[in-house]
Chains A and B, each alone.
Chain A
């Protein structure tokens, strides 16, 4: 059983640029969630994808967008980067549907620095 994998692990961007982060879910999981973790804070929910559709979103602006592919992998896109977007971006997978208990399995994260 493979765990959640994310790429890239680190990247540096400048203000106004765009970034794409990638995630492969754990084998057997069909739901992917993305979280943003600022330094010294707990992760904050960005959105969740289930069966290739966004089915939940936190308090993040529309410049944060995502995709889920038929193999359940996912992308997080952030446009018009701002300094405050500097954070660890975490992907988590789970088994969705009515049996979902909220138990999440996280990847190692992608650390984004915006200069």
Chain B
């Protein structure tokens, strides 16, 4: 079993839809939770960053963490074609004196006009 599970999609939605992206994890030691957006053939770009259970909102994006269920989500409201990308969840664990990120496989999202 992978430490971080993420449905690879692809997910196709019409413009204006609400998108829900999810990840589950198994390691209780994860401390910080992130969502990255990656356009084709580009590096990942940090979208959202949280460290506690609950919701964090930034514009059209809301990150949700449920540590008791080991489940995180990213919601995108009023989705736009420019949101078409791969969304990677990532979790940080501090071990052996350093932090490293464990990524999900990424969910490909296509928003069509």
In the complex, what residues of B have CB within 8 A of residue A103's CB? Answer: 32, 34, 46, 49, 92
In the complex, what residues of B have CB within 8 A of residue A108's CB? Answer: 42-43
Query: Known: A102-B32, A104-B46, A108-B43. Is A56-B98 also a contact (CB below 8 A)?
Result: yes
Let me know if B17 is at the binding interface, CB within 8 A: no
CB < 8 Å: which of A35, A56, A111 contacts B41?
A111
| Bound complex: CA A103 to CA B32 (Å) | 8
Binds B, one of A11-19, A42-50, A68-76, A78-86: A42-50
Chain B residue at minimal CB-CB distance from A41: B105
Let me know if B103 is at the binding interface, CB within 8 A: yes
Cβ A90 vs Cβ B44 within 8 A: yes
Query: Known: A102-B32, A103-B32. Is A109-B42 also a contact (CB below 8 A)?
Result: yes
CB distance from A82 to the nearest CB of B (A): 22
Cβ A42 vs Cβ B106 within 8 A: yes
Which B residues lie at the A interface, using CB under 8 A? 4, 6, 8, 31-32, 34, 36, 41-46, 49, 51, 88, 90, 92-94, 96-106
Interface residues on A, range: 20 to 34
Cβ A102 vs Cβ B43 within 8 A: no
Q: Mark A21-61, 1 if CB is under 8 A from B, else 0.
A: 00000000000010100001111110010100001101000
Let me know if A107 is at the binding interface, CB within 8 A: yes
In the complex, what residues of B have CB within 8 A of residue A2's CB? Answer: none
CB distance from B53 to the nearest CB of A (A): 16
| Bound complex: CA A100 to CA B46 (Å) | 16
In the complex, what residues of A have CB within 8 A of residue B4's CB? Answer: 42
> A40-B105, A55-B96, A102-B101 given. 7 additional CB < 8 A pairs?
A41-B106, A42-B6, A48-B98, A94-B99, A102-B32, A106-B43, A109-B43
In the complex, what residues of B have CB within 8 A of residue A44's CB? Answer: 103
Cβ B44 vs Cβ A43 within 8 A: yes
CB < 8 Å: which of B99, B102, B106 contacts A100?
B99
Most B CB within 10 A of own CB, among A4, A6, A35:
A35
